[in-house]
Amino acid sequence: MFAVTKADGFKTAMHILLIGLGNMGRKYLLKLEELGKLPVLCDKDPNKALDNYPFYCHLEDVEEDIKAVIIAVDPKDHVKLAKVFLDQGIPVLLEKPPALTRLDFMEIYHYPNLYISEVESFSTCLSYFPKNVKTLSIERFGRGRGYVSPLWDLAWHDLYLLQRFFKEIKIEDLRLGDVWELRGKADDVDLTIKTAWEHPNQSRRWIIDDGAFVLDFAKEEVWKDGSLIHRGKTDKLGAMVKAFLSGELDGKSRERALRNIELLEYIDHALAFENKKEV
């Protein structure tokens, strides 16, 4: 059985357990290596073992002392895996979405040592978000496919960012196709979110007031009236991992995740209702 350390051992030089070595898990591993940490790896696929680090297919086989855990697996397994460590007082960074229903997420929501991945919160573009916005059009197009849907896997990022600027987010219409399009309100601002998997043109942009401002989260650029006014070089994932391991990550990520889940569940239920009516 793996050895665990309580929260008071969080800052000691012990191992970081990384669960999941898929696309996102490999990115986390790279950041742990860059930070000079001591990763222990766990994945159900034995072919993903690496010579450089301890590797396990089953959690119960882990022998190393663990001070923190990063979980990047199929979201349906998030709650079950996270709870093992949260119950021991070990900080957990959980990839998004942390759960697929509000009911499931509430099993772990109350743990103060739970943090939800919010990579875009480390963007240098956020400080340029203007006041008195009238319209906001968001593009979130990805190259690959996720676990759930373009909403849960991609638009999730924009929904937690919107919570930093607006009190209430309402989705009034959803149009499906090659691109999923949400329309609604962020407070009194007209909001559109377009999102898609496997899109030929990757994009992560907020287009404000018909292009008066553009926040480009992919390129870390800010444009005003067609002129580039900012270009950042922030390693967003690296900054988030570093903040997590130093105990400085925003604890309100749980609250934003809960609101995201509630909103996306509402949209899913509305979709199911419309599909039932069409049948």
Q: Which of 149, 145, 133 lies closest to 192 in space, CA to CA?
A: 133
pLDDT bucket at 271, cuts 50 / 70 / 90: low
**In the block, residue with structure tokens 């960012």:** 161
Residue 170 in tokens:
């309402």
- Whether the per-residue pLDDT at 16 is higher than 50: the answer is yes
pLDDT bucket at 268, cuts 50 / 70 / 90: confident
Torsions phi, psi of 140, nearest 5? -140, 85
Q: How many angstroms separate the CA atoms of 99 and 92, rounded? A: 14
Domains and CATH numbers, the chain: 3-120+239-249 (3.40.50.720), 124-233 (3.30.360.10)
What percentage of residues in the chain have a pLDDT greater than 70?
A: 92
Q: How many angstroms separate the CA atoms of 60 and 38, rounded? A: 19
pLDDT of 11 reads 40
Residue 173 in tokens:
């219409």
pLDDT bucket at 2, cuts 50 / 70 / 90: very low
- Are 176 and 170 contacting, i.e. CB atoms less than 8 angstroms apart? no
Burial (0-12, 13-18, 19+ Cβ within 10 Å), 116: buried
In order of 23, 141, 269, the CA distances from 276 in angstroms are 35, 28, 11
Cβ burial 125-162 (10 Å sphere, 16+ → b, else e)? bbebbeeebeebbbbbbbeeebebbbbbbbbbbbbbbb
pLDDT bucket at 20, cuts 50 / 70 / 90: very high
- Whether the per-residue pLDDT at 1 is higher than 60: the answer is no
Q: How many angstroms separate the CA atoms of 12 and 66, rounded? A: 10
Q: How many angstroms separate the CA atoms of 116 and 93, rounded? A: 6
Q: How many angstroms separate the CA atoms of 42 and 137, rounded? A: 40
129: left (phi over 0), alpha (psi -120 to 50) or beta: beta
Provide the whole-model pTM.
Answer: 0.90
- Are 115 and 251 contacting, i.e. CB atoms less than 8 angstroms apart? yes
User: How many CB atoms are closer than 10 A to CB 202?
Assistant: 12
- Whether the per-residue pLDDT at 272 is higher than 70: the answer is no
pLDDT of 32 reads 97
Burial (0-12, 13-18, 19+ Cβ within 10 Å), 110: exposed
pLDDT of 234 reads 83
pLDDT of 269 reads 81
Residues 213-241: tens digit of each pLDDT? 999 999 999 999 999 999 998 899 999 99
pLDDT bucket at 279, cuts 50 / 70 / 90: very low
Q: How many angstroms separate the CA atoms of 20 and 33, rounded? A: 16
228 or 270, higher pLDDT: 228
In order of 48, 192, 195, 207, 208, the CA distances from 139 in angstroms are 33, 9, 6, 8, 11
At 257 the three-state DSSP class reads helix
Residues 107-121: tens digit of each pLDDT? 999 999 999 999 999
Q: Which of 50, 56, 51, 48 lies closest to 17 in space, CA to CA?
A: 56
